[in-house]
Amino acid sequence: MNDILPGEIETWQFLEVEARRIFGTYGFSEIRVPLVEKTELFCRSIGETTDIVEKEMYTFNDKSDNSLTLRPEGTAPVIRSFIQNKLHTKDPVAKLYYMGPMFRYERPQKGRYRQFHQIGAEVIGIEDPKIDAQVLTMLAHYFDAVGIKDVELQLNSLGCPECRPAYREALIGFLEARLNALCDDCRRRYRTNPLRVLDCKVPGCKEATIEAPSVLDHLCVGCDEHFNKVQGYLRNVGTPFTINARMVRGLDYYTKTTFEMVTNSLGSQNAVAAGGRYDGLIKDLGGPPLPGIGFAMGVERLVLMKGQGCVEPNRPDLFLAALGDEAACYAFGLMSSLQRRGLHAEMEYEGKSLKAQLRRADKLQARRVLIIGGDELARREAQLRTMESSSQETISLNGIEEFLLAGLTPAP
């Protein structure tokens, strides 16, 4: 779990502001849900045999002995809220986005933390493959807009309750014949969660499953048609993608389209964003039988890719340096008034030497410095130094506020 400090936070804020801006143009509204939910919600949605539910949840009993869990992801809480607040009665389509911390007790490493942050989006109520293509295009648009390159959008389809069971059986049959080549973990879970074996990083398991049956060869007519249409719409709007038939997801609620935005630049944590369709989840959680699709991006991974410190820190527009008590008092008044009027102004509060004050201005990377001396104050004059051009001029203190503010906002 990490602190996010000044100097780092600017990149986070940039990523958040861009998400709000871009998701807004696609018609999404923000939703904020609690960090804590009933444990049962995650067991029922993510799945009892997933790593998240089996090993990674921060679960505790509250004083009334309810089992609660710090949310390991955002989809289940958003759907819980959608159902509980009967949002479908107000609008048959919900386009929602969220951002905030998630918690998983995983082994920490680069790009993988126990408290991490997601920016996610969910669309509820649209079955048509156009929305799959729209969500994926929005995701690709976001990566373009924030300047993160070197990512690839990989697509797969995991079928539906109609065609998945036959695929599962085919896969279990294939794995059964190769049990000796699989690792202990996969031997244990190949019956309960055979798809996870395709995702195992152990070289022996990778090799043993090279020829495993492909989910895409087992799709029913409806799923196959849906998947083809998604690809058609993506081509239509020019959103690049590749197919990865071995992509499985670590959560059980997915149906049909699944996807990951992957990169080679983060070592083994290669998914910067991931998601898919979950057409059965809303009904399974006690809501109306509505389809859903969404994704979540890992903000720490976005920050690692973007590079910390890539966004300029908050630099003062003006630093006021004053010589003597009277000038310091005047500078303090001027600074306060300018701050109220929207100018980022700073001063050295403790009346140090001019040299120390200028050092402070330098450290804060102030754009301009106003030097006010005692004699000059009597003449209603001061020196304005512009750091970029290293120029200095004498200016009148009469009308100084307007002068400084005008310098800030160029005329349209």
What mask, x for binding ligand HAM by CB under 6 A, covers residues 119 to 138?
-x-x----------------
Per CB under 6 A, 106 contacts ligand HAM: yes
Residue nearest to ligand HAM (CB): 298
Residue that is written with structure tokens 């050092």 in the block: 359
Shortest spacing between CB 237 and ligand HAM, in angstroms: 21
Per CB under 6 A, 250 contacts ligand HAM: yes
The nearer residue to ligand HAM, 178 or 226, going by C-beta atoms, is: 226
Shortest spacing between CB 339 and ligand HAM, in angstroms: 38
Taking the alpha carbons of 375, 376, 378, 379 in that order, is the dihedral positive or negative? positive
Shortest spacing between CB 246 and ligand HAM, in angstroms: 15
The nearer residue to ligand HAM, 293 or 323, going by C-beta atoms, is: 293
Give the Cα-Cα-Cα angle 151, 106, 36 (nearest 5 degrees). Answer: 100
Shortest spacing between CB 406 and ligand HAM, in angstroms: 45
Burial environment of residue 226 by CB neighbours within 10 A (0 to 12, 13 to 18, 19 or more) = buried
Taking the alpha carbons of 356, 358, 363, 364 in that order, is the dihedral positive or negative? positive
Q: Which of 75, 156, 157, 257 binds ligand HAM (CB under 6 A)?
A: 75
Q: Which of 113, 190, 227, 233 binds ligand HAM (CB under 6 A)?
A: 113
The nearer residue to ligand HAM, 63 or 149, going by C-beta atoms, is: 149
**Do the Cβ atoms of 301 and 111 come closer than 8 Å?**
yes
Shortest spacing between CB 288 and ligand HAM, in angstroms: 18
Binding-site size for ligand HAM (CB under 6 A) equals 26
Q: Which of 88, 112, 344, 367 binds ligand HAM (CB under 6 A)?
A: 112
> DSSP states of 276-296 as a string?
EE-TTHHHHTTS-S--EEEEE
Q: Could you say which residues in the range 291-350 bind ligand HAM, by CB under 6 A?
A: 294-296, 298, 300-301
Which residues touch 224 (CB under 8 Å, ≥6 apart)? 157
Per CB under 6 A, 255 contacts ligand HAM: no
Candidates 32-40, 135-143, 265-273, 377-385: pick the segment binding ligand HAM (CB under 6 A).
265-273
Q: At what angle do helices 325-340 and 400-408 cross, to 10 degrees?
A: 50
Q: What is the dihedral of CA 356, 357, 358, 362, to 10 degrees?
A: 100
The nearer residue to ligand HAM, 133 or 271, going by C-beta atoms, is: 271
Return d(Cα 8, Cα 301) in angstroms, integer: 13
Of 156, 157, 139, nearest in space to 148 by CA: 139
**Do the Cβ atoms of 118 and 302 come closer than 8 Å?**
no
What mask, x for binding ligand HAM by CB under 6 A, covers residues 140 to 179?
----------------------------------------
The nearer residue to ligand HAM, 79 or 372, going by C-beta atoms, is: 79
Residue that is written with structure tokens 């079955």 in the block: 127
Candidates 71-79, 155-163, 172-180, 217-225: pick the segment binding ligand HAM (CB under 6 A).
71-79
The nearer residue to ligand HAM, 99 or 320, going by C-beta atoms, is: 99
Q: What b/e readout covers 140-168, taking b as 16+ CB neighbours within 10 angstroms?
A: bbbbeebebeebebbbbbbbbeebbeebb
**Do the Cβ atoms of 370 and 319 come closer than 8 Å?**
yes
What mask, x for binding ligand HAM by CB under 6 A, covers residues 180 to 219?
----------------------------------------
What mask, x for binding ligand HAM by CB under 6 A, covers residues 6 to 25?
--------------------
Per CB under 6 A, 83 contacts ligand HAM: no
Q: Which ranges in 29-128 belong to alpha helices (H)?
A: 39-46, 51, 75-84
Return d(Cα 321, Cα 361) in angstroms, integer: 8
Q: Which of 44, 80, 104, 360 binds ligand HAM (CB under 6 A)?
A: 104
The bridge status of strand 318-322 relative to strand 368-372 is parallel
Per CB under 6 A, 275 contacts ligand HAM: yes
Interface residues toward ligand HAM, by CB under 6 A: 73-75, 104, 106, 111-113, 116, 118, 120, 122, 250-251, 271-276, 294-296, 298, 300-301
